Structure formats: C-alpha cells, structure tokens
Structure 1
C-alpha cells in the first residue's frame, strides 16, 4: 500500500507539470490580447502596453513560463484578470457548487445502477429487465442540453414546480438548495446511470461462466443469492473504475449544465475565463482539475485493495 501511494504521488507531480506546461503554451494560442480585452478597443497603445507589463505579458513566452512556474512552486497562482483576486481564492470559491453536483449525481447514479442491474440479474425474464439495454442506450444517446431544456420547459415553465436556475449552498440553506438542485441532478443522473448500468451488466455477464459460480450453485444456493452474494461484489471493480474517471470528468466538464441552470461552478468559471482571456484563471482551474483527477484515481486504486483480497496480496 505504501509503494502504491508513493507511485501515485510521483505520478501526481509528473501529471501536474505536464498539464501545467502544456496548458500554459496552449492558451497563448487563443486569439486576442488580455490587456486589450480589459481596456477595450478604444484604449491607447501606451495604456495597453503598461497593462501588459503589469500583467507580466511583455516578455518572451519562456520568460513568462519560468516566472509563472516559479510563483506556482511557492503557492502563488497569480491574480485573476477578471476578478482582480488571487486565482486560488477564486477557484476555491467556485468549487462547492461543482463538487456538490458531481458527488450527489455520482452517488445516486452508482446506487441506482447497482439496484437496477441486481434486479435484472435476479429477474432476467421480466419484460422491463429485458429492455434494460435499450433504455440504457437511450439514456446515453440523449444529449444533456436537450434533457435540460425539456425539464425546464415542463417543470419550471409549465408546471412551475421547480426553479429553472440559481444555486444555494446545500450546507447553509438546504431548504432553498434542494429544489434548485433537482433538475441538474436529474440530467446528470440519467446519463451516468445508463453508463454505469451497461458497465456493470457487462461485468456481471463476464463473471457468469466462471467455475466458482458452479461451485456455489452446487452447494444449493439460490440463483438470487449467487448473483447478489458472489457475482455482484466481483463485478463491481470495472464500475468503480468507471465511477472514478467519470467523477473527475464531471468536475471539469459540466459546463453545459452549469450554464443552462446558472450554477456558479468551475465549468461556468472556466468558460468565462476563456472568453475574457484570463490566462492565470484558466491555468489555475486546469491544474485543479488535473489534481482532482489524480486524487480520484488514487482513491479508486485504494478501493481495489479494500474490495479485492487478490489486489492486497499482489
């Protein structure tokens, strides 16, 4: 376990260096001048040049990179051009909405997929269970923005049961937070549950021909007990892998959901940073998402050791 942690920490440093370096140079390819974007097209060239110098954009790319990397090593990610605040503070301020959506939708989708797939396993001849593949494929095929717009039209505009936008902290004001979270959570859960169901079902089908199940049936165990006690725990490994990678992608990729429902999360923050050429903020958000991706994969690897004794032995 210690060796695993050390390897992952080494990978974390390498990934952050690679991602940070690539992102630094890639975002410089975005057309437009940040100083000109702030001052406007009617600004005087002298004012634009002075602002570029104050922002550290007047040197060569390598000089800018070395200066930025040196500050990052000391925990200084620079100041946001748009918010006029330290990048780290701006990112930390926008993390809770995104993490709330990602955590809740992942947990709900995981539990639903386990429940639905287990029901399919013990009742394979049920007509609804047999339609599981088609329903899951449909859930993955429907675009998130289309589901979002339909839900807003039905439940917010027509029925007026739920708010169409807004965000309140679940920990400070749960009464107002829960109604605003329902629609975005439903959109995220539909797609994730469909993906998780297909993943878990394929994993369970791969377990069925194995010899240990014939031994379990020979002992007189019922089919439902065989499925739930033996097949399901062994089939969870691919689902946990999918859960970890999907969660990390959610944190950096729910831009559409946050934009439609006006949720001030990391995706919404990143879109605004790109449109305003806020280079320090783009780099800060990207590094945080990369850090989270590595940490989530580390937790997935550690969960393998908890669930599967073979992993602990190896």
Structure 2
C-alpha cells in the first residue's frame, strides 16, 4: 500500500533534477535541498511505516536538476530532467542516471500565443490568463526553468510521469495560488485498464484573485479540489478523485508556505472492488543544504551528504 502513495504523492510537493543542455549561460553553482518523508499506512489487514529521503540538486538558473531517492540506506533511483528546444516547441527529457538510459515518458510542450495556451503532448490544453502566460513562457520557453514547469504541472490530475519529483515549491511559492488558469482539457489513461477519460476542468477564484475550487468530471469519474485560506500563514486543501477503476482517494492537507514546519496530509483510499479502505498519513520535512560542488553525484557521495545532515 505504500506504493500507492508513491503514485499519488506527488500531487503535492516539489522536486528537482535534469539533464539540461549545456549552454553558455550554464552556471557551476549548485544548491541542494533534502526532503525526508514519513508515511504510515493503516488498514484492517495491515499496518506499515516507511521513511525515505529525497535529495534535489539544481543550478542557479534552475535549468539543471537532479533528484536522488534513498530508501533503506541505498540509492534506489537517480533521475535527471532537462528541457531542449525543437522546431515544434520544447521537449522535457527524462533520463535515468543509474542506468544511463533515456525514459520514454518525456513531454512535448508547445506555447500558443493566439489563445495564451499551453499544449502538453498534443492532447492536454491549458488556457492561461495573459499575464501568467507571459510569465510562464519567459521562465520555461526562454530560460528553460525546470522548476517553473514542474511547479505549474505538479498539482493537477495528470501526473505526466513526474510523480517522483516532489513539489518542493509548495512550501514556499505563493504564486501557485493566484489567478493563473482559465480552463483546461486533459486526457488521462487509467492505470489498470485501457480506458481513456477526457476532463474539462473549471477553475473558480475568490474576490481577491486566489484559486478556491477546481473541478472536473468524465463519464463516471470525478475530481475536485477545494482550497481554504485559514489565515495568512496556513492553507487547507481537500481533494477528491476517483480517476482510477474502483478506487476513490480523499485527501486533506494543511500547508504553511511561510513557515518551516512539516507538511502533513492524510489520504483515505477506498478500493471498492476489494471492499478495502486504507488510511495513509504523510509528513514531509524540508532542509536546505546550501551549496554543493556537483550536480552529478555517486551513491557514496549522496549517502555521505545525507548522513552529515542527521
């Protein structure tokens, strides 16, 4: 059941890693951030606990990022992400550092000025407000900022095969709650069948221009997300999704973007075909490690850096 969280979790926290094209502007200054994730899963049949650590290293320009996942004292995954320009737009390239192989789950990204939209993989279209469109285009298309792209994509129904990249900016970036998206149309494939669903998303903003509701439906499946601003330092988010066959997930999370506190949320996962309900509690702490010498590290270097933080 812990695996369920690895598939969903990262609808919520941020990430980092890349195989950026070497350009003249590339810097040799690298910054590292460490996340520690604690997960407890409880059902009528079992109870599990898991602790893992995720190390993110990015350069000053944020166009080069690597993410290293450590579990049980072993480097289990190391992935790089990078944006490259093509005649048709941008490609998000995904590469396994451990096997030195390309992943076929990259993305094609096209900015369309005519209607201020962002097209992902020729199927998903996000129509943005003009001011946000101009900002995102400058950050992603011009500067090739991986962080800005992931920050935009991380909190939506389609995970784009980047769920291993934790949305770290969720704990710091206030811009994500602004008036960014007018509407979107997204196609998803259910993981346990060949069924495709097409979703028409609606976005609702409050009187001061902050997002407060996102909802969509496709046939018999539904998605909704409600955001409540409890006070200037705390945000509550509740989500409901049954975009998978016979599985319903409800989540409640509290964010404190201006405070250095653990990010916590609770998932209730109902598997209707098995008549099984599981409660998954997650807490994630974040620590800035400052500057490091290299973005590409060996397993020994990663483990040494993490041990120094204990």
TM-score range (shorter-chain normalised) is under 0.3
Structure having the higher Rg: 1
Q: TM-score of the superposition, structure 2-length normalised?
A: 0.24
* Larger strand proportion of the pair: 2
* Larger helix proportion of the pair: 1
Quick one: higher RCO (CA 8 Å, sep 6+), 1 or 2? 1
Q: TM-score of the superposition, structure 1-length normalised?
A: 0.23
